[in-house]
């Protein structure tokens, strides 16, 4: 039995959800998102709560049960509060700046890295060593953060690179003479 799937998703005030077959559409103050569930689960709505139930007890149905519930919760959270990822840049001469819809990164390469910010996500740089990614789609926000981090992941000796805020980098000891 799915422990996540059993729990119904609360729909806060100011957010409306409509179910049409296997598609659920959620509207809120930040925008509109939708999700199409597989035929292995049944989605129902009553009294401000959305419940997901499996149609059978097969392994796939039980997998889709928890996944569908998590996806619906992400829709509700996204349109009401939104999602946010913060990145930190460590290293001498490493910095970031936003110009229009392009994030310009200087990461120790011989050239400047230009990262095109996709629609649905806003990127801000309050400091040269901080990048904040915000949006209503959890998957898109996380993927943009991962793509930016991929340009120069943190290395274990000096800790230089791009890391998530609060991320622990296991440090190694360098060579000894």
Q: Residue 35 has what pLDDT? A: 93
Q: Does the predicted TM-score (pTM) go above 0.85? A: yes
Domain residue extents for the chain = 3-80, 83-164
Q: Residue 118 has what pLDDT? A: 95
Q: Residue 130 has what pLDDT? A: 96
Residue range 12-53, pLDDT digits in tens: 999 999 999 999 999 999 999 999 999 999 999 988 899 999
Beta-sheet strands, E only, within the chain:
9-10, 16-20, 23-28, 31-36, 41-46, 49-54, 83-90, 95-99, 102-106, 113-116, 121-124, 130-135, 161-164
Which residue, among 99, 112, 105, 177, has the nearest Cα to 147 in the 3D structure?
105
Count, residues in the chain: 177
Asked whether the predicted pLDDT for residue 101 surpasses 70, the reply is yes
Q: Residue 1 has what pLDDT? A: 62
For 83-164, CATH gives 3.90.930.12
Q: Residue 131 has what pLDDT? A: 96
Q: Mean pLDDT across the stretch 68-72?
A: 94
Q: Residue 59 has what pLDDT? A: 92
Give the chain's radius of gyration (CA, Å).
21
Asked whether the predicted pLDDT for residue 2 surpasses 90, the reply is no
Q: Mean pLDDT across the stretch 102-130?
A: 95
Q: Residue 138 has what pLDDT? A: 95
Q: Which CATH class is domain 3-80?
A: alpha beta
Q: Residue 32 has what pLDDT? A: 94
Asked whether the predicted pLDDT for residue 176 surpasses 90, the reply is no
Cα angle 83, 22, 62; round to 5: 80
Q: Residue 5 has what pLDDT? A: 86
Q: Mean pLDDT across the stretch 72-79?
A: 94
Cα dist. 106→1, 5, 76, 100, 142 in Å? 49, 44, 36, 17, 21
Q: Mean pLDDT across the stretch 132-155?
A: 95
Quick check: 4 and 54 in contact, CB under 8 A? Answer: no
Q: Residue 175 has what pLDDT? A: 86
């Amino acid at each position: 039995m799915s422990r996540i799937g059993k729990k119904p998703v609360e729909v806060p005030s100011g957010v409306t959800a409509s179910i049409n077959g296997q598609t659920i559409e959620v509207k809120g103050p930040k925008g509109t998102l939708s999700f199409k569930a597989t035929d292995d689960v049944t989605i129902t709505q009553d009294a401000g709560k959305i419940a997901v139930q499996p149609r059978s007890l097969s392994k796939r149905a039980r997998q889709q049960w928890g996944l569908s519930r998590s996806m619906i919760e992400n829709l509700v959270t996204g349109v009401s509060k939104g999602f946010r990822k913060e990145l930190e840049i460590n290293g001498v001469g490493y910095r970031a700046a936003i110009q229009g819809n392009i994030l310009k990164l200087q990461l120790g390469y011989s050239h400047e890295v230009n990262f095109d910010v996709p629609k649905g996500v806003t990127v801000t740089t309050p400091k040269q060593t901080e990048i904040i990614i915000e949006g209503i789609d959890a998957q898109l926000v996380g993927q943009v953060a991962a793509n930016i981090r991929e340009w120069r992941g943190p290395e274990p000796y000096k800790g230089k690179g791009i890391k998530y805020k609060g991320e622990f980098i296991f440090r190694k000891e360098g060579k000894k003479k």
